[in-house]
Structures are given as C-alpha cells and as structure tokens.
Amino acid sequence: MARSDSIGRLGAEFFTPGSSSFTEFVQAHRPELLSTGGLLPEGVQAAPDQVPHGTTVLALTYRDGVMIAGDRRATMGNLIAQRDLEKVHPADDYSAVAFAGTVGLALDLVKLYQVELTHFEKIEGIPMTLNAKAARLAAMIRQNLGQAMQGLAVVPLLTGYDPTAPLGRRGRIFSFDVTGGPYEKTDFHAEGSGSPYARGALKKLYRADMSRRDAALAALQALFDAADDDSATGGPDISRRIFPIVSVITEDGFERLSQQETEELSREMVEQRHHQPDGPVATL
C-alpha cells in the first residue's frame, strides 16, 4: 500500500508521528486508495437503476445486549440485483455494523472500518470506546459526502455492547445521516427503504426485557412487514433457503445466529403468518 525504496524499506511516512487512525494515514499518503474519496465527473448523477442498493437493516436492544439484523435483497431500480447479500458484519469483538445504500461503497466502508478499529487497538493498546467508534464511523461517512450528493449514499447502522453503561442499557444503537451526523437511538431503529414499516412493527412488538429468541422473532417479523410493503426488501426465501442475517452483541461479544437457528425461527414466523397474515398485534 505505502511507498518504499528500491531496497524494499518502508517509506518515511511510516516513521512520521501522526494519529492512530488508519484512514487518516491513507488519506494523507495514498488518498487514491480510498473509494470514498473520488467523485463522479462534474454534473454527473448516478443512475439508481444501474447501481445495486441494499435495504433493510434494523437493530433492537434486549435483555442481554443488542441485536442487529438485515434482509438479503439488493436492487437496481425495479430489478433484483442479488438475493443473498450480507448487510450485517462484525466491526470488532463488541460491535457490529449494517448498511443500507450503495452496495459497493458500503462493503468497502465496512472493510475499512474494521481495519480502522483493529489499527487503533494495535497502536494504542486498548480498544476504542463505543462513543469513539460512533464518532470514527461518522467521520468516515462524511468523507463520502460528495458521492452521496451524486446519488451514491451509504447509510450504516452501528450497534455495540458498552460495559461502562448502566445495567439494562449496555446494548447501544447509533444511526447516521449522509453528512455523518451520529444519533444514538433508544430501544430500536431501522434504516433503508423498508425502515418505516420495520419501525412500525417494532413499535408494537418491542419490550425491553425480551429474551434472545423473542427479540429474534420480533426482528424477523419487522423485516417481514418491511418486505410486505417495500419491493426493495426481501422476505425469507424458503425455497432457496435464504434467510435474514441476525446477530447479537452481548458481554460475551459478537455472535451471528446460525443458519439453522435463523431458518427455524423464520419458518415458525411464516407459519404464524398463515393464520395472521398481518402479523402479531400489540399487547395492551
């Protein structure tokens, strides 16, 4: 990545004092390697039907921590570009990030963010606090503002387990706007074109003391409602065995629910929908 002399020795930039940010290091010495830095030619807008976009992702806190989930569909206009896209990724041992928006840039952003957190921990000897992780992701999103204004927006959702927070509030959720503004959310949140329907479902199903199983069912119900009203969101694909990605972050760290567990819960939910097509009602 960095320049070296003809003998193969590292360049002077590696020995110049600076911050512990990998992104800032690359921005200073090899900015052409950052996919978030380039703009389309002046006056050019990205055609929405030519670039894959991913939706919908959501997060909710529960008894043991925080859960984050996403559907698997990516679309280009009215076409399904991919049926099994993974929109939920671990950021480090105690945080995870999911995304809606331009798929190519989002995947690059997630990989760069993972490196950013690892690099900081190696340089400083300690992991970032969750607040610092949110601030760092916000700065990275801000670097993509020019492309976002040209139609290539990336909207991530960050979750993490914060051992310094009071008991019962250690699962935390952060959303961001396209300018990089971070906003901490309480209880639950969703992003993407199906997010209004997902948030509506979570509003009636959410309880702070939910078990992991109940939280997973609530997340799957919310994604099903989103898919029911938003063509860009995909529901469980029983025939192809493609199901939403569901992960949790607790005091034990990040864990992705197994394919078998997610499939069993998805099939149970679909069976319930045979009797209640509009999903479960809110308890009074």
Q: Where does 63-202 show beta strands of DSSP type E?
A: 65-70, 74-76, 79-82, 88-92, 95-102, 154-161, 171-176, 182-185, 188-191
CA dihedral 46, 198, 209, 132 (to 10 degrees): 10
β-bridge partners, 95? 92, 160
Residues 6 or more apart in contact with residue 12 via CB below 8 angstroms: none
Distance CA 40, CA 108 (A): 17
Active-site residue, 179 included: no
Q: Which one is catalytic: 23, 55, 61, 75? A: 55
Buried b (16+ CB within 10 A) or exposed e, 176-214: bebebebeebeebbbbbbbbebbbebbeebbeeebebee
Computed over its alpha carbons, how large is the radius of gyration of the chain? 20
Residue 256 is encoded by which pair of tokens? 């992705």
Count the Cβ atoms, other than its own, within 10 Å of residue 107. Answer: 18
β-bridge partners, 176? 182
CA dihedral 267, 269, 273, 278 (to 10 degrees): -150
β-bridge partners, 131? none
Residue 69 is encoded by which pair of tokens? 């989930």
Catalytic residue numbers, as ranges: 55
